[in-house]
Amino acid sequence: MIQAPRSLILITVDCLRADHVGFLGYKRATTPFLDTIARESFVFSKAIAAGAPTYYSLPGILASRYPLALGREVLGIAPDEETLPSVLRDFGFQTAAFSAANPYISARFGYDQGFDCFRDFLESGQIEFPEENIPTSFRARANRAVASTCHQVPGLGQIYDELYFEYCQRIGSGRAASFEALRKFPSADVIVDHAISWLDEHAGGPFFLWLHLMDPHAPYYPKPEALDAMGASSSAQQARYLNSYWARGDIGPERLRRKRDKVIALYDAGIAWADRQIRRLGERLVELNQWDNCALAITADHGEEFLDHGGRFHAPVKLTEELIHVPLVLRIAGNRDRRHITTPFGLIDLAPTLLDVLGLPAPASFRGRSRWLQAASGKEWQKPVITECVHGCSNPFFSEKRIAPRILAVRSQSHKLVLDFASNSEQLFDLECDPQERNALNPAEAIAVRQELLQHAWKHLAESQKSRDFDRRFESQLRDLRIEWAHSAPSPN
Ligand SMILES: [Zn+2]
């Protein structure tokens, strides 16, 4: 008999794809601590994000709501929307979030709602609006003129690009001081330090703690100790070169592939560092006598691509497995064996499942359903999992980017149907025969499966329309407007 735990810890690791953790079969030792936990936990080997990337995934995790359910233009958590932290706070939990400076996880997008303590490490208090930075100096203009001339001669443009890239890396940018100086996000040790300080004050009562770690996120500048431990030591200079090479827009997959393994080593070291810090958090919980009082859920918002389908990073232009299949491990004291759940589990179901684990009801607004009873009793369930995003919306700070057509994936145990409304394409994959999604089935094949998954897709779209909460949508639009007004207000003299 498993007793309901008193508290809950949720850890989301940004960009952590399922096939890069040891407990799901990865060969490199990225997650020794999580592997140990997995031996006495519920391991969901087919956990699927409700959307990708971060801003399309987190509403599913925290609010059990599909990312586009309020309308494509609405981003983040809507004002007063019920979420895992808000529900738990209403039940008397102390709530805290420490998020490693992902600009989409901020108060601007409603992520502070429900938290007594919310730290997003975006210290300036302002989110940077990425913009095209076109240098205008004489040298830059002259360089553009030379580049343009070279690109008019067949073969010369490529040679020029190569020389210019090497020049920029080896001479133009100077020496890279250190990994610390190059890193864009606070590393997991910083986040865990803050979490431990908070726990030292609040571990006595019921609490909900959420950590969002960015260590595997690009640019890939892990802790050098983690690289050394993996036997993949690198200098900061080499790491900067690899990151710049990997971000190149002027070369194709063939040439990018030459550096792929080295880039993956940097990414894996980020995972290893997150794992090591989660261990430290666990050790502190043991010291505080709280380790067995907490349910611990560890998952990811989405995965990361390393040319699996020709791309890099995690832009929402496809919903392939490396982008939406994430690890999910759930440790609950009292359970001493590994429980392997192979039914596809949508992260839309995570928040109601976690509430159920704590013995608490989920609010009516949650679209997912608890799978706790089925998981605990070893029963399977049959419901295809939905994932959606807006095609090409890689920078949702620009609201016009949010309005593009949707991509929708429906995944069953064996098949996956992907509807891309941008290209009006429909692809069905047999994931048992073709787990890498290399060859979509011919339209004449698996007709019954195709029809069944199509029906689920239409049902999802119809429910999204029917259940749309126009008040919340309006409130979210107002929030966006207020921020835009605040940005455009004349600054005081
Ligand atoms: Zn993310």
Q: Per-residue pLDDT tens for 67-88?
A: 999 998 889 999 999 999 999 9
Residue 486, pLDDT > 90, answer no
Q: Per-residue pLDDT tens for 192-246?
A: 999 999 999 999 889 999 999 999 999 999 999 999 999 999 999 999 999 999 9
For the range 356-359, what are the long-range contacts, defined as Cβ-Cβ under 8 Å and sequence gap of 24 or more?
A: 357/4, 357/5, 357/8, 357/295, 357/330, 357/332, 358/4, 358/5, 358/8, 358/88, 358/295, 359/4
- pLDDT score at 170: 67
**36 CA to centre of ligand 1 in angstroms:** 25
Residue 394's pLDDT band, with cuts at 50, 70 and 90, is: confident
The token duo for 141 is 């203009």
Residue 397's pLDDT band, with cuts at 50, 70 and 90, is: confident
- pLDDT score at 307: 97
Residue 297, pLDDT > 80, answer yes
**153 CA to centre of ligand 1 in angstroms:** 41
Residue 488, pLDDT > 70, answer no
Cβ atoms of residues 22 and 271 within 8 Å: no
**112 CA to centre of ligand 1 in angstroms:** 17
Around Cβ 367, how many Cβ atoms within 10 Å? 24
**90 CA to centre of ligand 1 in angstroms:** 28
**273 CA to centre of ligand 1 in angstroms:** 17
Helix (H, G, I), strand (E, B) or coil at 2: coil
Cβ atoms of residues 195 and 288 within 8 Å: no
**12 CA to centre of ligand 1 in angstroms:** 9
Q: Per-residue pLDDT tens for 127-176?
A: 444 443 444 566 666 667 776 777 777 777 777 677 767 767 766 667 77
Residue 492's pLDDT band, with cuts at 50, 70 and 90, is: very low
**244 CA to centre of ligand 1 in angstroms:** 20
- pLDDT score at 130: 43
- pLDDT score at 162: 72
- pLDDT score at 124: 56
* Closest C-alpha to 402, from 51, 50, 11, 22: 51
Kindly give, in sequence order, each residue whose CB lies less than 8 Å from that of residue 360, ignoring residues fewer than 6 positions away: 87, 88, 91
pTM score over 0.85: yes
DSSP string spanning 164-203? HHHHIIIIIT-----HHHH--S--HHHHHHHHHHHHHHHT
Q: Position of tokens 């090479």?
A: 245
* Closest C-alpha to 312, from 23, 15, 100: 15
- pLDDT score at 340: 95
Q: Per-residue pLDDT tens for 331-370?
A: 998 888 889 999 999 999 999 999 999 999 999 999 999 9
- pLDDT score at 487: 58
**77 CA to centre of ligand 1 in angstroms:** 15
Helix (H, G, I), strand (E, B) or coil at 212: strand
**15 CA to centre of ligand 1 in angstroms:** 5
**What mean pLDDT, rounded, does the chain reach?**
91
**CA–CA separation, 198 vs 396, rounded Å?**
32
- pLDDT score at 131: 42
* Closest C-alpha to 419, from 393, 396, 440, 403: 440
- pLDDT score at 409: 98
